[in-house]
Amino acid sequence: MGKLDNQNVVVIGGTSGIGLAAAVLAKEAGANVWAASRSEDKVAACSGANPDIQFVQVDTHDPDGLKSLFEKAGTIHHIVGAATGANRTMAPFMDQTDEQFREAFNKFWGYTNVTRQGVPFMAENGSLTFVSGTPARKCNPGMSSVSCTGSAVEGLTRALALELAPKRVNAVAPGMIDTAMHDRFGDNKAEIFENMGKNIPLGRVGQASEVAEAILLLMTNPYVTGTTIDVDGGALLP
């Protein structure tokens, strides 16, 4: 018997990286899974590779599209918000324009849309899980917009846990994770990750599947809410 047998799970941002890993793990745990992405190409590619998961094209900034997806899923037991939904500028605060800084918060606004449209379709004992990140609490230079967005996501998590109870609301905060987001490193990706790993207590960067395991825990443990689980190899340690 799977931990999520006959439960309905919707993963927003579920065609790559952490979101896709969470969708696959939920399916393996017995759930009926819908995974959404704003990219039609990713939806098509993932549909062929994972025929047991229902992939749908929808943007987190399209409330009507989100509502339509949630309606199709019926009674939803778990929603995962893993979509970036924003273009993020990595630069010192004083070097960013106001528009660039505000753009990073589109991830946060996307999560608010997911919440407003998805919660009315959730089971009373359902869960909502967001993806934040270590910059929310340990920010390197040039990552102010990402840090502030993550802090907002974790604040929303705690606020909603109180307002939506007994529905549960949690977050995971990944550290440096090997996903397609870092393909910008090109052929040097493996070397860069190896060097980054030297500064992490566990000696390496993480995998999307390891973050997905934490998401599964938050979906299946009925006594956890308002919590952020760090999956960072110890990167937040002093």
Phi and psi for 5 in degrees, rounded to 5?
-50, 130
Tokens of 38: 């704003």
In a domain, 236, yes or no: no
In a domain, 137, yes or no: yes
In a domain, 3, yes or no: no
Query: Residue written as tokens 């409330």?
Result: 63
pLDDT band with cut points at 50, 70 and 90 for residue 198: very high
Q: How far apart are the first and last CA of the chain?
A: 41
In a domain, 219, yes or no: yes
In a domain, 2, yes or no: no
Q: CATH number of the domain that 213 lies in?
A: 3.40.50.720
In a domain, 55, yes or no: yes
What lies within 8 Å, CB to CB, of 225 at 6+ separation is 127, 161, 165, 168, 169, 170
Q: What is the pLDDT of residues 140-178, one digit of tens each?
A: 999 999 999 999 999 999 999 999 999 999 999 999 999
In a domain, 237, yes or no: no
Q: What whole-number distance in Å separates Cα of residue 114 and Cα of residue 157?
A: 13
Q: What whole-number distance in Å separates Cα of residue 197 and Cα of residue 131?
A: 21
The predicted pLDDT at position 86 comes to 80
Q: What whole-number distance in Å separates Cα of residue 87 and Cα of residue 237?
A: 28
Query: Residue written as tokens 């896709």?
Result: 20
pLDDT band with cut points at 50, 70 and 90 for residue 53: very high
**Is the confidence at residue 180, as pLDDT, over 80?**
no
pLDDT band with cut points at 50, 70 and 90 for residue 188: confident
The predicted pLDDT at position 107 comes to 96
Bridge partners, residue 210, by sequence: none
Listed as own residue / partner, the contacts of 46-53 with beta carbons closer than 8 Å and 24 or more positions apart are 46/14, 46/15, 46/20, 50/23, 50/24, 52/27, 53/14, 53/23, 53/24, 53/27
CA atoms within 13 A on the CB side of 169: 22
Q: What is the pLDDT of residues 69-117, one digit of tens each?
A: 999 999 999 999 999 878 888 899 999 999 999 999 999 999 999 999 9
Q: What whole-number distance in Å separates Cα of residue 129 and Cα of residue 35?
A: 14
pLDDT band with cut points at 50, 70 and 90 for residue 190: confident
In a domain, 1, yes or no: no
**Is the confidence at residue 1, as pLDDT, over 90?**
no
Can you give the residue range of the structural domain that contains 47? 8-231
**Is the confidence at residue 182, as pLDDT, over 80?**
no
Enter the pTM of the model.
Answer: 0.94
Total count of domains within the chain: 1
Bridge partners, residue 228, by sequence: 171
CB atoms inside a 10 Å sphere around CB 161: 19
The predicted pLDDT at position 238 comes to 87
The distance from CA 170 to its chain's CA centroid, rounded to whole angstroms, is 11
